[in-house]
Amino acid sequence: MSANDGEVKLVMAYIRPDKLGDVKKALADVGAPSITVTSVSGRGSQPARKGQYRGEEYTVDLHQKTKVECVVADIPAEDVVAAIVEGAKTGEPGDGKVFVLPVESATQIRTDKTGPEAV
């Protein structure tokens, strides 16, 4: 149990919505199937894209994305990040980002278990 030095980590990713299936599969393969998914919108570093609709110009500056949260204890956070990158990559701009945050405590509601076993 030296994964993450015994600590709990929140791996948080912003990905393309149509890559969620591949990311779920990659996470299950690495032993981290428990996830929470949120519909979000966002923008990265590219300038806003201009379009035309019925003769009107408009600007698309927020794109639909999917946020995936995966809290892990026994699986190294870096393996989870690698799985998400593998599942989410197309190589085109807009593929997204993965961030890891520290978690100080974890509790499983059904059992009152706390710590790494709760995750």
Ligand X SMILES: Nc1ncnc2c1ncn2[C@@H]1O[C@H](COP(=O)(O)OP(=O)(O)OP(=O)(O)O)[C@@H](O)[C@H]1O
Strand bridging mode 8-15 / 63-72: antiparallel
Nearer to Mg ion, 25 or 97 (CB): 97
Listed residue (99, 82, 83) closest to 11, CA to CA:
99
Residues near ligand X (CB under 6 A), total: 22
Given candidates 39, 93, 104, 105, which one binds ligand X under the rule CB under 6 A? Answer: 93
Q: Binding to its own copies (CB under 8 A): which residues in 82-111?
A: 84-85, 88-110
Is residue 26 involved in binding its own copies (CB under 8 A)? no
Nearer to its own copies, 21 or 55 (CB): 21
Given candidates 24, 25, 63, 89, which one binds ligand X under the rule CB under 6 A? Answer: 63
Is residue 115 involved in binding its own copies (CB under 8 A)? no
